[in-house]
């Protein structure tokens, strides 16, 4: 019986910081909706909500900047983001001290001057996040993606804020600079956020996504603020704008807390191979949003001639983009699959193993791996030719795919070596059941070069409980594959054509089971 070894690994602590931030936001959101428009809303809820959100963001930003589980560049990035939160706190205090929150009579106000420190500090923080090494071709593609998204953002800001402000006229240079400062500063932040999203490391991806969401709410609120700064008769600050800012501050705090939580659970400073990324959807989404802005402008200008022209241009662009997207996905599939069998290749196997490990830790379930080596494959190649050998590999790949669950990953490692990652193996008994199912399926002969042949294989089984997994994904993958490889060689030494062997940690001997199906590949 296999022993369970915990290796002293402790269970991860609950994400109390994330829970507290979410709870505070929900309480404030309830108070926001219950009191909106009242005196208590402007006197209590808004000041408390704005200050608390930024103070919490500042606190977790400082904590992330000092967290030893993060690489140096990530810590420096969060230090700069903490500075941007401090600038926002000064901005709120400046507005309150001068009584000018929502008042456009004095431009720029003390709050405006303090807020001007926020975009450069946040942008510097975003651009400081570590990025993955990319080839020149990858860098060029990333640059084009960034330009597409930023161009879309500029179209929105031009249509809603910048264009009307310039067209209105009658503003002093200082008033115009103040009104433009909000949307242009946010556009620069959008640039930095997209750069981090397309070039950042996997460890920073989720926190950066929350930062980008926060900046999206911030851009909406600031864009309208720029509008009312340049249009004194536009009225005061609406409730929805305050809601955008409140949500942005708490999302920034949540991003910092999430980064700290991830660093506490994993050694993010460890250098690990970055998984192959799928085709980015950002430029396509940005193009769609840009055309929505064009449709809006055409509708306001009248149906003729612009509405029809924009509709036709959108159809042409959409068709070309769809064709390119299909081609890109086909190219991605070629990179991560084996050309002969259609199974995952070694790189995709490692990516699937990394995802399975995260799932195992999160759900506290075991993870299983099979290492499979065909027996007698060289004999097929030597006697019947390489085409027959390829046909046997394709037939054996079908046997493997038909014998495992749809959520499992079947990969060809090269030659006649295969592997299976089992997400829901249910422990050693379940993994052995899958191995036996493969052996039973090999009892059916397949036609190779006009002759019925039964494939044979030696299968190594390795299972590891979630509590026994090393903290490092790279180390866990290495150990799982190594243990399965040892078990596979133990099965191969027993000589029957179809056999499985379950790896059991020393000092207990390996448990080996055989099922000789009368293979023709002895």
Report the DSSP beta bridge partners of residue 464.
367
Q: What is the pLDDT of residue 370?
A: 93
Q: Name which of 96, 94, 100 is nearest 116 in CA terms.
A: 94
* Residue 333 neighbours by CB distance under 10 Å: 11
396-427 pLDDT per residue, tens: 889 899 888 878 889 998 888 999 998 878 88
pLDDT category of residue 266 using cuts at 50, 70 and 90 = low
CATH fold, domain 346-514, is: Alpha-Beta Plaits (3.30.70)
- pLDDT value at position 170? 64
Class of domain 16-267: mainly alpha
CA distance 382 to 51: 76
- What is the Cα–Cα distance from 47 to 57, expressed in whole angstroms? 15
pLDDT in tens, 68-105: 878 888 889 899 999 988 988 888 888 777 665 444 44
Q: What is the pLDDT of residues 37-75, one digit of tens each?
A: 777 777 788 888 888 888 998 999 899 888 887 888 888
pLDDT score for 449? 77
Name the most confidently modeled range: 98-102, 124-128, 199-203.
124-128
Output phi, psi for 233, to 5 deg. -95, 10
pLDDT of residue 124: 86
If you average pLDDT over every residue of the chain, what do you get? 78
409: β partners: 421
Q: What is the Cα Rg of the chain in Å?
A: 30
The mean per-residue pLDDT over the stretch 472-500 comes to 85
- What is the per-residue pLDDT for 174? 67
Phi, psi (deg, nearest 5) at residue 446: -120, 150
Report how far residue 444's alpha carbon sits from residue 498's, in angstroms, rounded to the nearest whole number: 12
Taking the CA atoms of 268, 273, 276 and 282 in sequence, report the sign of the dihedral they define. Answer: positive
pLDDT band for position 179 (50/70/90)? low
Please answer whether residues 5 and 468 qualify as being in contact, where contact means their C-beta atoms are separated by less than 8 angstroms: yes
Taking the C-alpha atoms of residue 114 and residue 128, their distance in angstroms, rounded to an integer, is 22
Instruction: Please determine, for residue 521, whether its predicted confidence score (pLDDT) is greater than 80.
Output: no
Task: Classify the C-alpha dihedral 422-424-428-432 as positive or negative.
Answer: negative
Quick: pLDDT tens for 439-476: 988 888 888 877 888 888 899 999 988 888 887 888 88
Question: Do 489 and 389 contact (CB within 8 A), yes or no?
Answer: no
- In angstroms, the CA 263 to CA 97 distance is 38
pLDDT digits (tens, 9 = 90+) for 321-351: 788 778 777 777 777 788 888 888 888 888 8
The pLDDT of residue 418: 93
Distance between CA atoms of residues 409 and 347, nearest Å: 12
**DSSP letter for each residue of 364-417:** T--EEEEEEEEESHHHHHHHH-HHHHHHHHHHHHHHHHHHS-TTSEEEEEETTE
Domains of the chain, residue spans: 16-267, 275-336, 346-514
Q: How far is CA 290 from CA 159, 223, 283, 422, in A?
A: 11, 17, 10, 43
Instruction: Kindly tell me the burial class for residue 393, based on how many C-beta atoms sit within 10 Å of its own C-beta (0-12, 13-18, 19 or more).
Output: buried
Q: Is the pLDDT of residue 5 over 50?
A: no
Q: What is the pLDDT of residue 510?
A: 47
Alpha-helical runs (H) found in 4-135: 16-35, 39-40, 46-65, 72-98, 110-115, 118-128
Paired residues of 367 in beta bridges: 464
Write down the pLDDT at residue 379. 81
Euclidean distance between CA atoms 81 and 257, whole angstroms: 13
Three-state SS string over 100-118 comes to CCCCCCCCCCHHHHHHCCH
| Number of helices (H), then strands (E), in the chain | 18, 8
Sheet hosting strand 498-502, strand order edge to edge: 409-414, 417-422, 367-375, 456-464, 498-502, 511-514
Is 131 a residue whose pLDDT tops 60? yes
Rounded distance, CA 155 to CA 161, Å? Answer: 10
CA-nearest of 351, 370, 348, 367 to 359 is 367
Higher pLDDT, 94 or 369: 369
The pLDDT, as a whole number, for residue 62 is 92
484/500 Cα distance (integer angstroms): 10
Torsional sign, CA 186, 189, 190, 191:
positive
């Amino acid at each position: 019986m296999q022993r369970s070894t915990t290796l002293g690994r402790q269970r991860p602590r609950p994400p109390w910081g994330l829970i507290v931030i979410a709870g505070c936001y929900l309480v404030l959101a309830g108070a926001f909706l219950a009191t909106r428009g009242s005196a208590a809303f402007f006197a209590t809820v808004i000041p408390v909500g704005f200050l608390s959100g930024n103070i919490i963001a500042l606190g977790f930003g400082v904590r992330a900047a000092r967290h030893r589980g993060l690489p140096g560049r990530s810590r420096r990035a969060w230090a700069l983001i903490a500075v941007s939160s401090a600038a926002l706190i000064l901005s709120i205090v400046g507005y309150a001290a001068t009584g000018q929150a929502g008042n456009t009579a004095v431009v720029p106000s003390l709050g405006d001057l303090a807020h001007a420190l926020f975009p450069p500090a946040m942008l510097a923080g975003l651009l400081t996040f570590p990025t993955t090494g990319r080839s020149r071709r990858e860098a060029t593609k990333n640059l084009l993606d960034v330009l597409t998204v930023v161009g879309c953002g500029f179209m929105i800001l031009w249509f809603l804020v910048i264009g009307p402000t310039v067209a209105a006229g009658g503003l002093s240079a200082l008033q115009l600079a103040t009104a433009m400062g909000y949307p242009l500063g946010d556009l620069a932040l959008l640039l930095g956020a997209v750069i981090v999203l397309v070039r950042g490391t996997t460890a920073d991806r989720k926190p950066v996504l929350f930062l980008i969401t926060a900046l999206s709410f911030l851009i909406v609120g600031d864009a309208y603020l720029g509008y009312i700064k340049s249009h004194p008769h536009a009225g005061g600050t609406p409730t929805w704008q305050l809601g955008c800012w409140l949500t942005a501050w708490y999302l920034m705090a949540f991003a910092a807390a999430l980064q700290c939580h991830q660093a506490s659970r994993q050694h993010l400073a460890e250098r690990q191979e970055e998984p192959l990324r799928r085709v980015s959807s950002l430029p396509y989404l940005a193009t769609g949003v840009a055309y929505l802005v064009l449709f809006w402008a055409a509708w306001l200008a009248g149906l003729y001639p612009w509405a029809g022209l924009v509709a036709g241009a959108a159809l042409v662009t959409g068709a070309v983009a769809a064709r390119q997207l299909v081609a890109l996905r086909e190219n991605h599939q070629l990179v991560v699959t084996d050309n002969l069998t259609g199974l995952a290749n070694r790189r995709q196997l490692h990516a699937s193993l990394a995802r399975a490990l995260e799932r195992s830790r999160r759900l506290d379930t075991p993870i299983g791996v099979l290492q499979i080596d065909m027996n007698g494959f060289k004999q097929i190649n030597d006697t019947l030719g390489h085409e027959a050998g390829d046909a046997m590999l394709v037939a054996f790949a079908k046997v493997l795919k038909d014998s495992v669950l749809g959520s499992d990953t079947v990969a060809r490692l090269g030659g006649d070596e295969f592997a299976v990652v089992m997400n829901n193996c249910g422990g050693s008994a379940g993994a052995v059941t899958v191995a036996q199912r493969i052996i039973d399926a090999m009892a059916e002969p397949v036609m190779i070069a006009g002759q019925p042949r039964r494939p044979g294989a030696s299968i190594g089984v390795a299972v590891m409980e979630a509590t026994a997994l090393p903290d490092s994904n790279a180390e866990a993958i290495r150990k799982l594959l190594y243990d399965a490889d040892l078990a596979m060689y133990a099965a191969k030494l027993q000589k029957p054509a179809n056999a499985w062997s379950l790896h059991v940690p020393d000092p207990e001997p390996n448990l080996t089971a055989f099922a000789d199906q009368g293979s023709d590949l002895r």
